[in-house]
Structure 1
C-alpha cells in the first residue's frame, strides 16, 4: 500500500512536484491552499481540502506526510518548520532516475531532487532545498538549506552555496573558482559565475556581474 502525502501550495509548480512524489511511491491524498478561497474545488483531479491554517489549527499532525510545492524559498521553509513543529513529516523525495553518489549527504528533511539530476561524491544538500531536472552538483560542494536550483544548472566543485540561494536555469559556476555563493544570492538564467558571489547579490551575464543587492 502506498504512503499518503498531502500537497501544499497550488500553482504552476504543483503538478511538477506531484509527479515527483508519485514517482517516489506516494499517493496524493489531497491539496491545501494558502487560504480558504478554493476549499472544495478540484485541481489536477485532486480535491482542495482546506487552507494552511486548517492544518496549523490541528493539535497533532503526527503520521501525516506533506509535499511543499511553492517555489519561494522562505515561504517553503516557514511552512516546513511549522508542520514539523506540529509533528508532521516533510520527507525528502529523490526521483528514481537521479544519480546520488553513495559519498554524498542528502538531508532527510524536505529535499526534492528531480529526474536526471546528479549529486557527485563528497557533496551535501541541506534541508528544504530543491534541485530540478538535469542539475549537476559537482564533487566536494555544499548546497545549503532552503535553496532552489533550477533545471540544467551546473554547480562546480569546491563551492559552498549558502542558505536561501536561487540559481536560475542553465547557470554554470566554474569549479575551484567560486569558493562561495552568499546567503540569499539570486543568479539569473544562463549566467556564467567565475568568482565568489556576495550575500544578497543579484547576478546576471556571461561572465556574470552584480546588478544590485536584495534586502
Structure 2
C-alpha cells in the first residue's frame, strides 16, 4: 500500500495500518521534496514505475484537496482502513479510501462513503449516511438517522441531533450543536448552530 501525503494526518493513518495485520506500507509518497521522513519511515517524491500494482490511501485531511487528488489520479484505492480500537458494527458499509481512527464508533445500518475520515473518538449512531470526502472530526457525535452530504466537515466535539440533514461542502464549527437541517455550503457555529456565512463552493 502507498500512503499519498506525509502530513500529520499521515501519522494517524500509519498508526491505523500498524494496528492491524491486514496491510503493509510499501511507500509513503509526498510532492514536497523537503519532507524526507515521517515517523522514522522514508518519504519518496516520485511514483513507482508500476504504481498500478499498489493500492493507495490519500493522507490529506483537507476535504477539498483530497477530492482534487482523487479526481486527477487514476489510482487503485485501498479498502477502508479501520483501527483495531475502533468499534464498527458488522453491517456498516464503508467506501474505498476511507479511514476510521482509534476510539471511533459506527453503529448499525450506517453507511460511510469513499475517501471519508472518521476521526478519533467520533461517534456515528444508527442509520447515519456520511457521503464521500466528509471529515467527522475528533469527538463529534452524529446521532441517529442523520444525513451528511459530500465534502462536509463536522468540527471537533460538535453534536448533530437525530434526523438532521446537512448539505454538501458545509463547515460545522467545533462544539456546535445542530438542531435543524443545514443547506449546502453553509458555515455554522454555536449552540444552537447558526449560519454565519457560506463557502463559495467545493472548489
Task: Tell me the residue number matched to 2:30.
Answer: 33
RMSD over equivalenced CA pairs, Å: 1.8
Question: Does structure 1 residue 48 correspond to structure 2 residue 38?
Answer: no
2:83 equivalent to 1:95: yes
The count of aligned residue pairs is 199
Q: CA deviation at 1:82?
A: 4.4
Counterpart residue number, 2:5: 9
Instruction: Name 1:171's counterpart in structure 2.
Output: 158
Could you list the runs of 5+ residues in structure 1 that have no partner in the other structure?
Answer: none
Q: 200-209 vs 151-160, which deviates more?
A: 151-160
> What is the rounded CA distance, in whole Å, between the counterparts of 1:214 and 1:62 in structure 2?
35
Q: Any unmatched runs of 5+ in structure 2?
A: none
Greater gyration radius: 1
CA deviation profile, 1:25-47 (whole Å, cap 9, x unmatched): 33333321124x237x2332111
Alignment correspondent of 1:20: 16
Offset of residue 199 of structure 1: 0.6
Q: Is the 2:132–2:150 contact (alpha carbons within 8 Å) kept by the matching residues of 1?
A: yes
Contact residue 124 and residue 143 of structure 1 kept, 8 A = yes
* Counterpart-to-counterpart distance in 2, 1:13 and 1:105: 23
Deviating beyond 4 angstroms after TM superposition, the runs of 4 or more aligned structure 1 residues are none
TM-score, normalised relative to structure 2: 0.90
Q: Given the alignment of the two structures, is residue 111 of structure 1 paired with residue 106 of structure 2, yes or no?
A: no
1:210 is aligned to 195
